[in-house]
Structure 1
Amino acid sequence: MKGAVWSILAFVACSGFSAFGQAPPINAQVQRGYLVGPGDEITGKVLGEPQFDFVTTVDEDGKIEVPFFDKPVMAKCRSERELRTDIGELLAKYLKNPQISIRVTDRKGRPPATIYGEVRTPQQIILMRKATLVELLAFSGGVTDEAGGMIQIFRTRPPLCEDANNENNWKSDDGDPTDVPSKMFSLNSVKLGKDEANPIIFPGDVIVVQKASPVYITGEVVAPQGIYLKEGGLTLTEAIAKIGGVKREAKTRDIKIYRLKPGSKERDVIVANYDQIKKGEQKDVLLEPYDIVEVDHAKKSIGQTILELATGAARTGLSSATGGIGTRILY
């Protein structure tokens, strides 16, 4: 499992912007606005006092260096307005009623969130605020017809400015700090608008909309093909109905389902009586991913064989008897 997780994250990292379009930032007015993080560039200007102007980068500890200040200023998880107040109070030691502007001029403290898989527009999205899963799904054009029943979200880094015990600070199931924590969400629950299926998405999150697993139906059916298993499952009768039903020659009393054994490439064989299922005399079979359903050709009955032989012989004899006779028209 851990190898698969790192493979997904490596794919996302290597793909960069060649595989994903980078969407414009999601913006909205929020209570505190953008909160500063390590790597962000801060520009400060003091009206009429250019010697106090500065451009600085937030260090790994979340602090910035400001000219003439003895100690670094804590900037992590502060908004522009809060930083302006903090630095203004410190500047008051040197200037009377300082007029200061503070701007985050380069927001490098947040990696983009990534959404890919069965969405119409896989992309990386720069989050300027907290956004939910539903928002990002809509922002990416929604899911495709091949989307399965589950969405997996990897939280590649702890959310910035969140308490360590906050519910958004996910932990890996096995407690391994090197493992990337993730959670699964039901696509059906997301569509129904359930709160528990609409988590907040943070910078660095990787959202994977999983593809539905197929089953294959072959043999004496109207349209042999693969069908995707969506959430809620699919029964044998539903699958056959989806492809137009069985042909008249189908051996419906002996339909075979070839099912993969767990952890193996070998398959078990399940025999289903389609006629009895339709009558309610046998339980319908719930199909599983990668099942192969084979509807065989029914053997002809003795009566049908005799009839075909008789009609065939009659046609052959009639052809032989009339082969050398001319044709006339009676008016």
Structure 2
Amino acid sequence: MRTRHLLILCCVFLLSIGSRNGLIAQNAPRVSPDNDATSARKVAASTANDAASNASQSDPRIGPGDLLELKVFGAPELGGTLRVSGAGEITVPLIGAEKVAGLSPEQAQKNLEQRLVSGGFLRDPHVNILVKEFATQGISVLGEVARPGIYPLLGSPRLFDALSAAGGATNRAGKMIYISRREDPSAGSAILLSQDPRQSLAQNVFLQPGDTVMVSRAGIVYVSGDVRTPGGYVMNNDENLTVLQAIALAQGLNPTASTKNVRIIRRKEGKLQEIPVELKQIMTAKAPDISLENEDVLFVPNSASKSAARRSLESVVQVATGLAIYRR
């Protein structure tokens, strides 16, 4: 009798454990290969959409007055060359007016495809939009160029294309060029042009409609007085011009030049300062060479006339800057 009771208790205990495990199994979420595949497709689609969204934000935007070439695969009668109206719309056969201003070409293509499907005109349309001319998003070229202005460059313009359209750089142009984006000016870039042709080709970057190209102005040093070729000499952005280098650019001193009373005339806070230069000591390496700054005037007097040393600072500056020929 006691043995029978023990057997019954054991059976009840085992049945309770089995039923509890069964309930847990029923409540647990079921994972099937189909669910895994569906989840993977959703993640891939989400990633693709994010990538397309990020890419479209950096694409050029269509604006009023732009000239578009529309093509619909399998239905050439729906395509053609269209000009965006002042309201930012184009008129497409069967669809009618469609607003495209502010959109990238890819976004406008998708909108037209959806309109063709929703209207029951085509089942699986493929639309292509090419911007043939940006009327409102030309490239602005400013600074030290021959003809500053806005240039509607077609295709995929590069930096040198914009500089060429503006007539090239002036004699006062520096080596630094700044490029800013219309939509995000803080995301601009600075390019230091190299004299190496191979590096210059690598610096010929692509531009986008609406970009602004600013060519910097190089510093200049004036050499005046009894030198062979007085004039203004350009200081490139990566150069530090000294007194001896400036005299060398001016092709040296005349035989009648005096190494005494040589001076640098520098403008500081609206006032002219006179800095004496011991040229003879510098030329014999008994004194350090002096670095020049932008807009400095290096004046070398004539030994035959002491009156040159007594000239006023203002007259020296006027003569130096008035007769200067910018040289490199």
Contact kept, 8 Å, 1:218 with 1:293, in 2: the verdict is yes
In structure 1, how many angstroms separate the alpha carbons of the residues matched to 2:199 and 2:174? 17
Secondary structure of the 1:260 match is strand
1:280 matched to 2:292? The reply is no
Shift of 1:230: 2.6
Change (3 A) 1:63 1:276: same
Shift of 1:260: 0.7
In structure 1, how many angstroms separate the alpha carbons of the residues matched to 2:134 and 2:96? 26
Query: What RMSD in Å do the two structures reach over aligned CA positions?
Result: 4.7
> Which residue number corresponds to residue 149 of structure 1?
175
In structure 2, how many angstroms separate the alpha carbons of the residues matched to 1:118 and 1:299? 41
Shift of 1:236: 0.9
> Which residue number corresponds to residue 222 of structure 1?
228
Secondary structure of the 1:95 match is coil
Of the two, which has the highest radius of gyration? 2
Greater CA drift, 186-195 or 125-134: 186-195
Contact kept, 8 Å, 2:105 with 2:129, in 1: the verdict is no
> Which residue number corresponds to residue 170 of structure 1?
185
Secondary structure of the 2:252 match is coil
Contact kept, 8 Å, 2:220 with 2:235, in 1: the verdict is yes
In structure 2, how many angstroms separate the alpha carbons of the residues matched to 1:131 and 1:45? 23
Larger helix share, 1 or 2: 2
TM-score by length of 2: 0.55
Contact kept, 8 Å, 2:228 with 2:252, in 1: the verdict is yes
In structure 2, how many angstroms separate the alpha carbons of the residues matched to 1:225 and 1:248? 18
1:293 matched to 2:298? The reply is yes
2:152 is aligned with what amino acid? I
The within-5 A match list for 1:86-125 is 87-93=112-118, 94-95=120-121, 97=123, 107-108=133-134, 110-119=136-145, 124-125=150-151
Contact kept, 8 Å, 1:127 with 1:202, in 2: the verdict is no
Secondary structure of the 2:199 match is coil
In structure 2, how many angstroms separate the alpha carbons of the residues matched to 1:185 and 1:97? 49
Contact kept, 8 Å, 1:64 with 1:74, in 2: the verdict is yes
Shift of 1:112: 0.9
The within-5 A match list for 1:140-289 is 142-155=168-181, 157-158=182-183, 169-171=184-186, 184-188=190-194, 193=199, 200-231=206-237, 232-261=239-268, 263-264=269-270, 266-289=271-294
TM-score by length of 1: 0.55
Shift of 1:200: 4.4
> Which residue number corresponds to residue 62 of structure 2?
37
Secondary structure of the 1:252 match is coil
- Percent identity over the alignment is 24
Number of residue pairs the alignment of both structures matches: 244
Change (3 A) 1:295 1:51: closer
Change (3 A) 1:183 1:271: farther
Shift of 1:234: 1.8
Note the alpha carbon deviations across 1:112-142, whole angstroms, 9 max, x for none: 1122444466564324455443453356565
Which structure is richer in relative contact order (CA contacts within 8 A, separation 6 or more)?
1
Secondary structure of the 2:229 match is coil
Change (3 A) 1:220 1:204: same
Secondary structure of the 2:105 match is coil
In structure 2, how many angstroms separate the alpha carbons of the residues matched to 1:49 and 1:230? 56
1:223 is aligned with what amino acid? T
Change (3 A) 1:192 1:143: farther
Note the alpha carbon deviations across 1:64-112, whole angstroms, 9 max, x for none: 7767769967771134xx7556534542452355878665687456421
1:78 is aligned with what amino acid? P
Match of 1:137 among 145, 156, 163: 163
Secondary structure of the 1:193 match is helix
Gaps of at least 5 residues in structure 1 are 1-30, 159-168, 172-180, 301-331
In structure 1, how many angstroms separate the alpha carbons of the residues matched to 2:282 and 2:100? 70
Change (3 A) 1:36 1:221: closer
Greater CA drift, 132-141 or 47-56: 47-56
Note the alpha carbon deviations across 1:12-62, whole angstroms, 9 max, x for none: xxxxxxxxxxxxxxxxxxx99x855132466768888989999684788x8
In structure 2, how many angstroms separate the alpha carbons of the residues matched to 1:137 and 1:214? 22
Shift of 1:217: 1.9
Change (3 A) 1:273 1:105: closer
Contact kept, 8 Å, 2:228 with 2:253, in 1: the verdict is yes
In structure 1, how many angstroms separate the alpha carbons of the residues matched to 2:194 and 2:250? 24
